[in-house]
Amino acid sequence: MKTLARSHPLWLAHVLHRLSGLALALFLPVHFWVLGLALTDPAMLDGFLAFAAHPLVKLAEFGLVFLLAVHAFGGLRLLALEFLPWRAPHKTAAALALAGSFGVAMTFLLQVI
Amino acid sequence: MAAVLQVTVHRGTAGARRAERFEVPSEANQTVLDVVSWIQQNADPTLSYRFACRVGMCGSCAMMVNGVPRWTCRTHVQKVVDRGRNGGRDGGRIEIGPLANLPVIKDLAVDMAPFFDKWVAAGAHHHPTATRADAPSPVRPDSAAREVANAGIECINCAVCYAACDTVAHNPDYLGPAALQRAWTLLNDDRDGGHEAILDAVSGFGGCHNCHSIGSCTLRCPNELDPMTAIAGLKRASARRVWRRG
């Protein structure tokens, strides 16, 4: 029997939201443990910071920011979808405006231009 | 040579499922229900399936077609056939099974009882406020609540949304999109006297708050209704009631 056909945008958004949440849940304890090293083992923290300067680790940090952005905006999307009794075109317009303003803000923040 | 459809039908009873292959002549303007009927009339008269009206009104012919729940009487084969690598010159392939998320009775017929039981469990039945001696209540068609109710009342109880729902698949107690949408239309109906009972029924375990807003119900509804938005309305109404109570 064929598996249920699911791959539509809202299902993918749901899966991305779940997976980013799980990944962040795994990341946060490690994050707090590393921060705690500042109090318990400064030498080990310095070693970790040297490791974090590696370009591959920097690239992984990009993934982390991506997960956070996906999860935060996924949550805002759900709140808007469920708690704002707007019609579909209003929501599309709001999402476009939000994405556009986020893009402009990030352009300035990261000094892309 | 006329094109021939390669049809796989998932058959048998709940404990003994099997897939059988049939070759069905491909024809212009053929529906999936036509294919199933051809098999039953020409290849195997023991094939069990349900249909009645054949025009998309009765809601009895829904089946899984190539992994998607559909009303088979109004689904054209040419729009859903898997043409494979050779572009469908051999007629293409089609896989037909009983609706997902419901117990199979035999072949393509499922037991709809759990689906309808949940309509009752969701409080999705009329709660009368008047007797036949009273004058009919006026219904203003342009009132906001009536417009919201109207958006959901054309449901034909086909259970396509129920079969498409991942939340139903993972939580057998979840009331499902159709029952919750019906509850939402009644909640917006001035003539219904059971608004508190409806909110009690849809706010509990298995109620509207289980919905993850994946939206397969809205995507698959053959009547283009929007159960996901109806369920969001129930979530708002139920949350508002909690804040109102303090």
**Segment-wise mean pLDDT, segments of 10 residues, chain B, 246 residues:** 88 93 94 98 97 96 96 95 74 94 97 96 91 89 92 96 96 96 95 93 95 95 96 95 82
Among B109, B141, B160, the domain boundary falls at B109
Any idea what the CATH number is for the domain that residue B196 is in?
Answer: 1.10.1060.10
**Beta-carbon separation of A11 and B232 below 8 A:** no
Among B59, B85, B109, the domain boundary falls at B109
pLDDT score of B105: 97
CATH hierarchy code of domain A10-83: 1.20.1300.10
Nearest C-alpha neighbor of B234 from the set B159, B122, B90: B122
Residue with tokens 């808007």: A80
pLDDT score of B246: 62
Segment 16-75 of chain A within 8 Å of chain B by CB: none
Contacts of B211 (CB under 8 A, 6+ apart): B167, B174, B177, B180, B228, B231, B232, B235
Q: Would an 8 Å CB–CB cutoff place B21 in contact with chain A?
A: no
CA distance A44 to B93: 61
pTM here? 0.88
Examine the domain organization and report whether B8 and B62 are in the same domain.
yes
User: For chain A, how far is it from start to end, CA to CA, in angstroms?
Assistant: 53
pLDDT score of B167: 96
**Beta-carbon separation of A5 and B66 below 8 A:** yes
pLDDT score of B12: 95
pLDDT score of B14: 87
Examine the domain organization and report whether B94 and B158 are in the same domain.
no
- The total domain count for chain B is 2
Q: Identify which of A6, A14, A82 has the shortest CB distance to residue B235.
A: A82
pLDDT score of B152: 94
CA distance A54 to A65: 17
Q: Would an 8 Å CB–CB cutoff place B238 in contact with chain A?
A: no
Structural domain boundaries, residue B17: 4-109
- The answer to whether residue A88 scores a pLDDT higher than 80 is no
The token pair that represents B197 in the structure block: 């009972």
* Three-state SS at B126: coil
CA distance B223 to B245: 37
Examine the domain organization and report whether B173 and B87 are in the same domain.
no
What's chain A's average pLDDT? 86
